[in-house]
Amino acid sequence: MKNGFWRGKNVFVTGINGFIGGNLAKGLLAQEARVVGLLRNKNEDTLLYFEKLAGKVTLIDGDLCDKELMERIIVEERIDCVFHLAAQVEVGVGMANPYLTCETNIRGTYTLLEAVRQFAKNIKAVVVASTDKAYGSYGRDMMPYKEDYPLKPRYPYDTSKACADMLARAYASDVYRLPIVVTRFCNIFGPGQLNFSAIVPDAITSAQGYTEFIPRGDGSQIRDFIYVEDVIELYLTMGEALAKDPRGIAGEVFNAGTNSPISVRRVVEQIYNMSGDKKGLARVLSLMKGKKTVGEIDCQYMDFEKVNKIFGWKPRHDFKAGLQKTYRWFERYNEHRFRARQDARR
């Protein structure tokens, strides 16, 4: 809901052409903010372009690890608030190419934060996106994750995000006192999630008849899924609160989830049930039997106790409601995507 805070604010979003970044840009534009985004690869197969948002924001080509560029953006664009969302997010890529993952997730983070530090007087709020994966593996009896759990990542992606997480908190410490908060959210899903290594868009596209779903495990893994509109509402709430008064907020870590864990198998079942493809579901479930998963944590979910207490936030969508919206969005997107491919072959 608009309250006027973001109107006219200069907001820098790293990772603007990604899933969360595109949705955040959409939310900021609705609040009449002036949005500046960093664009490393001009990929037009994204929510930002599909929903015709790219022409409404200022896009700057460049690399997150380019410190001089980060400084110029902050100064020349007179940035008030920063949302650092850029990351290499694929677990599989992290396993195959840990160097690239660390360059983006670790070096990219300290490069941006160092540029912010030099111009801290102008920056009112910095929100850094970490992940529930940074916690590493805890037993199911330790769920939901709590903000004070020690980070003990094991795999390259998890470790890189834990490093970025700790760097952000170091810059927010008594040494530099930057207005930074760190977010560790559970699995985010929704319109514009075009990373098809993620379970929701992969299964939806398959259930809609466009691709063949190949399970990556037996479906027993437990996850928590939060709808992207709820995440954007929380980001904007956090950024506003931090900019108005950082006391008691800066340097803090905030988990956000629904505290409603669900198995990967059940996610697939719900998606295929929406499509009515009973044969497809039977095929997928048969392929899941006995299939081992490598490089992923067994069980992860979160509550929203702390963010509810401090910001009054709680998710508005349960998994089913968010999934219905997501499924409908992908009906439009997939029809456009695959029709464009067919036209290109003619």
Of residues 62, 50, 68, the one with CA closest to residue 14: 62
Q: Which residue has the higher pLDDT, 324 or 293?
A: 324
What is the identity of the amino acid at 158? D
Of residues 300, 122, 325, 326, the one with CA closest to residue 224: 300
Which pLDDT value is given to residue 137? Answer: 87
Which pLDDT value is given to residue 298? Answer: 86
Segment 92-141, tens digit of pLDDT: 777 788 898 999 999 999 999 999 999 878 899 999 999 998 998 898 99
Pick the catalytic residue from 157, 171, 235, 301: 157
Segment 249-287, tens digit of pLDDT: 999 999 999 999 999 999 999 999 999 999 999 999 999
Which pLDDT value is given to residue 41? Answer: 80
Tell me the domain boundaries of the chain.
10-189+225-259+298-318
Q: Which residue has the higher pLDDT, 188 or 336?
A: 188
Which pLDDT value is given to residue 297? Answer: 80
Share of the chain above pLDDT 70, in %: 97
Which pLDDT value is given to residue 274? Answer: 96
Strand partners, 82: 12, 126
Which pLDDT value is given to residue 18? Answer: 95
Pairing of strands 187-189, 34-39: unpaired
Residue 176 designated active-site: no
CATH architecture of the domain with residue range 10-189+225-259+298-318: 3-Layer(aba) Sandwich (3.40)
Section 237-245 average pLDDT: 97
H-run or E-run covering 273:
helix 264-275
User: Across the chain, which distance is largest between two alpha carbons, in Å?
Assistant: 62
Segment 55-78, tens digit of pLDDT: 999 999 999 999 999 999 999 999
Section 139-167 average pLDDT: 93
Please state, in angstroms and rounded to a whole number, the distance separating the CA atoms of residues 85 and 100: 16
Measure the N-to-C terminal CA separation of the chain; round to a whole number of Å: 46
Of the pLDDT bands very low, low, confident and very high (cuts 50, 70, 90), residue 197 is confident
